[in-house]
Amino acid sequence: MSGTSLSEEQVHFIESGVSISAASRDMRRVPSVSKVVGCRVAADRRQVTVLVDATQAGQLLQDVEGSKALAVVFCLPSSHRTLQLKGCDAHQVALAPGDAELAARHRDAFAADLLPLGYALPFARATHEFQVEQLRALCFTLSDLFEQTPGPNAGSRLEQE
């Protein structure tokens, strides 16, 4: 999808306290998956950067380096709303100032969404825990966007601006 960009509302959603998972594959097409601890979107709404903890995402980082393929799923537990973004030019980039704080805010926002569902705060925070010195950033250009919320439209490609 040439020229794909996110809407303002979609940017707000994926940068909020959602559960984020990223997947790639090696050259044999064997998948790798990792939890993502934060996300930021460039002003053009076409470039997306996700933050991972290298101790948890070692295989994913290696696979992205080789394949450049990245699929990222964003899901809000309280509503099950889910979006999937894909890119085919993913690569590791330097952390930006404030990325550790962004990841901490993301962890806290995710925990806040889980608490009304009956989850204990230690569990809710632990699911998005990270080591600051192990943070890595993966950047990609949005090439595909899919609705993945459970229901009749799950899997539908979303046309964007």
Give residue-wise pLDDT tens across range 53-80.
999 999 999 999 999 999 999 999 989 9
What is the reported pTM? Answer: 0.92
Task: Tell me 16's DSSP state.
Answer: S
Q: What is the pLDDT of residue 81?
A: 94
Q: Which domains does the chain have, with CATH numbers?
A: 8-147 (2.30.110.10)
The string of DSSP codes covering 80-148 is: TEEEEEEESS-EEEPPPTTHHHHHHHHHHHHHHHHGGGT--HHHHHHTT---GGGEEEEEEE--EEEE-
Whether the per-residue pLDDT at 1 is higher than 50: the answer is no
Q: What is the pLDDT of residue 30?
A: 96
Give residue-wise pLDDT tens across range 97-116.
999 999 999 999 999 998 89
